[in-house]
Amino acid sequence: MSASTETITLPATTREIQLASRPHGRPVPENFRLAETALPELQDGQVLVRNLFISVDPYMRGRMNDVKSYSAPFALDAALDGGAVGEVIASRSADRKVGDAVVHSLGWREYAVLDAGATTPARTDLAPAPAFLGALGMTGLTAYAGLLKVAEFKAGEVVFVSGAAGAVGSLVGQIAKAMGASRVIGSAGSPEKVARLLELGFDAAFNYHDGPVAGQLAEAAGERGIDVYFDNVGGEHLEAALSALTVGGRVAMCGAISQYNSTEPTPAPRNLMQAIGKQLTLKGFLVGGYWQHMAEFVATMSGWLADGTVRYDETIVDGLENAPQAFMDLLDGANTGKMLVRL
């Protein structure tokens, strides 16, 4: 008898968070519903995973709108999905055994049935399981690929990161320092986050609530200006960066969290024409286009984590029922580092 069919009682149902209605502007609790649904029967080649941690990510806000985008909108009255790390508790696949730690994309529920091929082993010998949703997962690859492959950062350059105390931004700054940046500047939304950025090795950091971003960035960058801007925020931050960028500067456009809850069109940067005279490159990207760098990234990042070159923060909320509030708090900037829900 295989380990997958021993006499443990397997769950027949799962609790999950469903999208009850589409948000208008900032999400509210009424947009979400905690429900219990039947689990499908395990088929050949599938595994049953008990989720341990689920990822809470800003990009999910866009999928709550019923608009055509790079990723299909969430369906009403159905479970949300997103990154999760969990333990295989039943398997009908030769590739995954009971007890394996795996990463997959059916988060926002306690248990998930999915094809074994849709899971990736979590190398818990390298780092704790939740790190594979953050520093060693999609979050980390976003930072690594965005800085090195999209912005084509080179040693000696000056880098500015917005939303720098978030999951991606905090890693971008540390990767830049590890790769030889001459100066790394970060913006964040509280004095505590600014202090944390300096602890993580940023050369300068400022609180964007303290005054116009353009003035604070100009002061932090000095006459030298910046070569690379890693944009997680958009809006005023992008406008400020366009002014501070040097000739040939590059912008990796990763996110625009300042606009995710906007109900009115957001004014474009008023100084976009500077991109012409300065010969700037502004490149939007999705991490899905950079999976081919995953092995290189994991090898490099695991080394940095092991020797302390890179450190990461997590904001952990307990209980599936609290996932919607964690998501709303994330959009309000309540997290430092990666926002996770522990089940």
3-class SS string, the chain: CCHHHCCCCCCCEEEEEEECCCCCCCCCHHHEEEEEEECCCCCCCEEEEEEEEEECCCCHHHHCCCCCCCCCCCCCCCECCECEEEEEEEECCCCCCCCCEEEECECCECEEEEEHHHCEECCCCCCCHHHHHCCCCHHHHHHHHHHHHHCCCCCCCEEEECCCCEHHHHHHHHHHHHCCCCEEEEEECCHHHHHHHHHCCCCEEEEHHHCCHHHHHHHHHCCCCEEEEEECCCHHHHHHHHHHEEEEEEEEECCCHHHCCCCCCCCCCCCCCHHHHCCCEEEECCHHHHHHHHHHHHHHHHHHHHHCCCCCCEEEEECHHHHHHHHHHHHCCCCCEEEEEEC
**What do you get for the CA distance between the two ends of the chain, in Å?**
30
Query: Cα 246 vs. chain centroid, distance in angstroms?
Result: 28
Candidates 259, 214, 207, 217; CA nearest to 234 is 259
Is 138-288 the same fold as 3-125+313-342? no
Q: Please enumerate in sequence order all residues whose Cβ is within 8 A of that of 118, keeping only pairs 6 or more positions apart, or say none.
A: 104, 105
Query: Strand pairing partners for 112?
Result: 49
Look at residue 7 in the predicted model and tell me its pLDDT: 54
Measured distance CA(325)–CA(339) in Å, rounded: 11
Candidates 328, 155, 178, 144; CA nearest to 254 is 144
* CATH among 3.30.70.20, 3.30.390.50, 3.40.50.720, 3.40.1030.10 for 138-288: 3.40.50.720
Provide the residue ranges of all domains of the chain, joining segments of one domain with +: 3-125+313-342, 138-288
Are β-strands 13-19 and 281-284 bridged in parallel, bridged antiparallel, or unpaired?
unpaired
Look at residue 264 in the predicted model and tell me its pLDDT: 83
Look at residue 111 in the predicted model and tell me its pLDDT: 98
pLDDT in tens, the chain (343 residues): 344 444 578 999 999 999 999 999 999 999 999 999 999 999 999 999 999 999 999 999 999 999 888 889 999 999 999 999 999 999 999 999 999 999 999 999 999 999 999 999 999 988 999 999 999 999 999 999 999 999 999 999 999 999 999 999 999 999 999 999 999 999 999 999 999 999 999 999 999 999 999 999 999 999 999 999 999 999 999 999 999 999 999 999 999 988 888 888 877 799 999 999 999 999 999 999 999 999 999 999 999 999 999 999 999 999 999 999 999 999 999 999 999 999 9
Look at residue 70 in the predicted model and tell me its pLDDT: 82
Look at residue 59 in the predicted model and tell me its pLDDT: 92
**CATH architecture label of 3-125+313-342:** Alpha-Beta Complex (3.90)
Look at residue 107 in the predicted model and tell me its pLDDT: 97
- 8 A C-beta contact, residue 1 and residue 293: no
Q: Please enumerate in sequence order all residues whose Cβ is within 8 A of that of 42, keeping only pairs 6 or more positions apart, or say none.
A: 48, 90, 92, 113
